């Protein structure tokens, strides 16, 4: 039995526009153009696919918010005391983003910018991007930054400051090729490795410091 893969709602306008233009082209007798628009519609349906994911239950695990390839793991001066993990999403990856931890949205901040190729390191600082700051019950902070790319011209974020999220919850998407940055506290135990392919909602990038949880419990 074949199970249909869910689609992100942002994809439906593109799919229907392609179908409509294909239909009109067929009525006009432009068969080649009709086939082209049907292929475009089919590609959009595939691009905006939104498959279900099985998220690890470990409360200290930070999971990947994006499908793609890890292209950097290391320190970053923009957020002192953190380790940055950069994930490049090409046009063939699922582009729905998911919450890396469960907790509260402390801040959502949009930054206008350029549209450099998302695989360039300077894209993290110069491109259009959206920063989401999350904190868990122990006030451990993880930051996710959606970064637009060369083709991506639209960042979608479903969150607002004060929202509560579950780990693996859908938080937004970026259209047509992009990049996502995750910032973990410096005392986290990292398992992400540059060059590794990751899956949103499933792949563990690292583990938050368990001692922080124990210290908070002791203070209470």
Q: Hey, which of 109-113, 122-126, 149-153, 203-207 has the most confident mean pLDDT? A: 203-207
So what's the pLDDT on residue 129? 86
Report, as an integer, the average pLDDT of 134-149: 90
Top-level class of domain 61-210: mainly beta
> Which pLDDT score is estimated for 2?
46
Model confidence band, residue 4 (pLDDT cutoffs 50, 70, 90): low
Say which residues have a Cβ less than 8 Å from residue 138's Cβ, sequence separation at least 6.
Answer: 208, 212, 213, 216
- What pLDDT does 140 receive? 93
Identify the bridge partners of residue 127 per DSSP, sorted by sequence position. 114
Q: Does the pLDDT of residue 217 top 60, yes or no?
A: no
| pLDDT (tens digit per residue) in 55-74 | 998 999 999 999 999 999 99
Q: Provide the pLDDT confidence category of residue 215 given band limits of 50, 70 and 90.
A: very low
Spot the catalytic one: 86, 124, 178, 188: 178
In this model, does residue 219 exceed pLDDT 70?
Answer: no
Domains in the chain: boundaries: 9-47, 61-210
**What is the per-residue pLDDT for 5?**
64
Residue 25 bears catalytic tag: no
Which candidate, 81, 192, 65, places its Cα nearest to that of 131?
65
With 60 as the cut, is the pLDDT of residue 218 above it? Answer: no
């Amino acid at each position: 039995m074949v199970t249909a893969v869910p689609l992100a709602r942002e994809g439906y306008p593109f799919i229907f526009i392609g179908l409509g233009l294909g239909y009109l082209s067929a009525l006009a007798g432009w068969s080649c153009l009709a086939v082209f628009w049907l292929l475009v519609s089919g590609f959009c349906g595939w691009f905006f696919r939104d498959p279900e994911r099985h998220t690890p239950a470990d409360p200290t695990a930070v999971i990947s918010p994006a499908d793609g390839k890890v292209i950097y793991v290391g320190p970053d001066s923009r957020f002192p005391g953190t380790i940055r993990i950069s994930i490049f999403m090409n046009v063939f990856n699922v582009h729905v983003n998911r919450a890396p931890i469960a907790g509260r949205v402390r801040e959502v901040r949009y930054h206008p910018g350029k549209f450099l190729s998302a695989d360039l390191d300077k894209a993290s600082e110069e491109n259009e991007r959206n920063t989401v700051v999350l904190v868990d019950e122990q006030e451990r902070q993880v930051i996710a930054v959606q970064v637009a790319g060369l083709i991506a011209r639209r960042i979608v974020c479903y969150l607002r400051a004060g929202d509560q999220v579950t780990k693996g919850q859908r938080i937004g998407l970026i259209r047509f090729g992009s990049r996502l940055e995750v910032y973990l506290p410096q005392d986290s135990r990292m398992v992400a490795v540059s060059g590794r392919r990751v899956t949103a909602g499933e792949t563990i990038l690292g583990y938050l410091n368990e001692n922080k949880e124990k210290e908070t419990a002791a203070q209470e």
